[in-house]
């Protein structure tokens, strides 16, 4: 079972060795997989303890609560998605090219951080942690909509569609990948990104 590298965690969540042979990074990855299988609300610390094969007190050596695990997992997915958008601000190219960059980057994040993004997409907003995460996710959607609208103004995209609706449809298509995509070690995520870009822009790009 593979998990994302420890270097991807925020500094505050750097791995710490604990009992018995789990570090914080590995524990987080296993917990996220359990959340995705059983649902976050239905997963207790006892459930996590059984799947990890360690006592609840050993889990508390790494984290203070189940909610802290959720917050760290959601932060990983959202930080990566927000960085994709932030990177476009440094690009001096037309908005349509920045939009393509966002699409490719979002696909890459989804593939590389799939368990974490899957957890994000299944949120129901039942806690403050979830509510904050959902607002950050909505902000991503709004930024994509603004980028589409800018590309429309520049003439790079057709202007007879709603940027707001287009952003939701575009991200909805990308998000659906978690339901069917199975990582293939022989194929890079770039091939999938090429398909998404071709499919999206065939309906968006101005003639």
CA distance 44 to 206: 51
The helix/strand/coil state of 40 is coil
Residue 3 or residue 132, greater confidence: 132
pLDDT 10s digits, 178-201: 999 887 766 667 888 998 998 888
What would the mean pLDDT of 56-81 be, rounded to a whole number? 93
Of the candidates 44, 3, 38, the residue with the CA atom closest to the CA atom of residue 22: 3
Split at pLDDT 50, 70, 90, the class of 39 is: very high
The CATH superfamily label for domain 6-67 reads Homeodomain-like (1.10.10.60)
CA distance 167 to 170: 5
Regarding the domain delimited by 71-204, which CATH topology (the fold level of the hierarchy) does it fall under?
Tetracycline Repressor; domain 2 (1.10.357)
Is the full-model pTM beyond 0.85?
A: no
CA atoms within 13 A on the CB side of 50: 5
Phi, psi of 53 (to 5 degrees): 75, 25
DSSP state of 17: B
Tokens of 5: 């590298």
Instruction: Indicate where the chain has its CATH 1.10.357.10 domain(s).
Output: 71-204
Tokens of 78: 């959202």
pLDDT 10s digits, 5-34: 333 333 333 333 344 557 788 899 999 999
The helix/strand/coil state of 205 is strand
Provide the mean pLDDT of the chain: 86
Instruction: Indicate where the chain has its CATH 1.10.10.60 domain(s).
Output: 6-67
Burial of 57 (0-12, 13-18, 19+ CB in 10 A): exposed
Of the candidates 15, 193, 6, the residue with the CA atom closest to the CA atom of residue 110: 193
């Amino acid at each position: 079972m593979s998990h994302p590298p420890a270097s991807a965690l925020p500094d505050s969540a750097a791995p710490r060795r604990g009992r018995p042979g789990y570090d914080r990074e590995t524990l987080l990855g296993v917990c996220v997989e359990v959340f995705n299988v059983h649902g976050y609300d239905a997963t207790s610390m006892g459930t996590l303890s059984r799947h990890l094969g360690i006592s609840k007190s050993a889990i508390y050596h790494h984290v203070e609560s189940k909610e802290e695990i959720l917050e760290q997992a959601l932060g990983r997915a959202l930080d990566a998605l927000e960085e994709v958008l932030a990177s476009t601000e440094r690009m001096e190219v037309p908005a349509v090219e920045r939009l393509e960059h966002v699409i490719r980057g979002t696909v890459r994040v989804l593939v590389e951080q799939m368990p974490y993004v899957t957890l994000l997409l299944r949120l129901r907003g039942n806690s403050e942690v979830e509510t904050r995460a959902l607002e950050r996710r909505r902000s991503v959607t709004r930024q994509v909509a603004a980028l589409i609208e800018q590309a429309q103004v520049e003439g790079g995209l057709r202007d007879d569609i709603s940027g707001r609706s287009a952003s939701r449809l575009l991200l909805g298509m990308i998000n659906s990948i978690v339901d069917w995509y199975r990582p293939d070690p022989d194929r890079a995520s770039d091939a999938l990104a090429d398909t998404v870009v071709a499919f999206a822009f065939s309906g968006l790009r101005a003639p």
